[in-house]
Amino acid sequence: LPLAVAGWDGYADVIRKQTELGQRLRRLLEADAWKCVNDTPLPVICFVDPARDAPGYLEKIAEAVVASGRAWISPAQLDRPVLRACITNFRSSEEDLRTLVECLKDARSKLSC
């Protein structure tokens, strides 16, 4: 049904927007001292805190972000533990990206104490 409503061009527009938001999120994360560890045009960003590598740290960051109720990320396992942000909702916006980075900053500051 969504394909019938939006059509192929509508789907393509959404995917282009999500891909662009993924690139913007990469830049925002890197500006806030996170390190993106995957290189893909897809709106799936895996990242770490290069300043902290304690066991369970990234899981605690993800829990704090999700508990805030303002954003959602998940821990994942690549060749090492990472945080994973996926832009999959067609309503995602630049403001959502800024909110996520704020939540990450808040979680990081609370866990650094």
- What's the CA gap between 36 and 60, in Å, rounded? 18
Q: What confidence tens digit (pLDDT) does each residue in 76-106 have?
A: 999 999 999 999 998 999 999 999 999 999 9
Q: What is the mean pLDDT of the chain?
A: 94
- pLDDT of 113 reads 58
What global pTM score does this model have?
A: 0.91
Q: Under DSSP, is residue 101 helix (H, G, I), strand (E, B) or coil?
A: helix
SS3 state of residue 84: strand
DSSP H helices in 32-93: 57-68
**pLDDT tens by residue, 6-22:** 888 888 999 999 999 99
Task: Say if CB 103 and CB 60 are below 8 A apart.
Answer: no
Q: Which residues pair with 83 in a beta bridge?
A: 47, 75
Q: Which residues of 18-42 are buried (b: 16+ CB within 10 A; e: fewer)?
A: beebbeebbebbeeeebebeeeeee
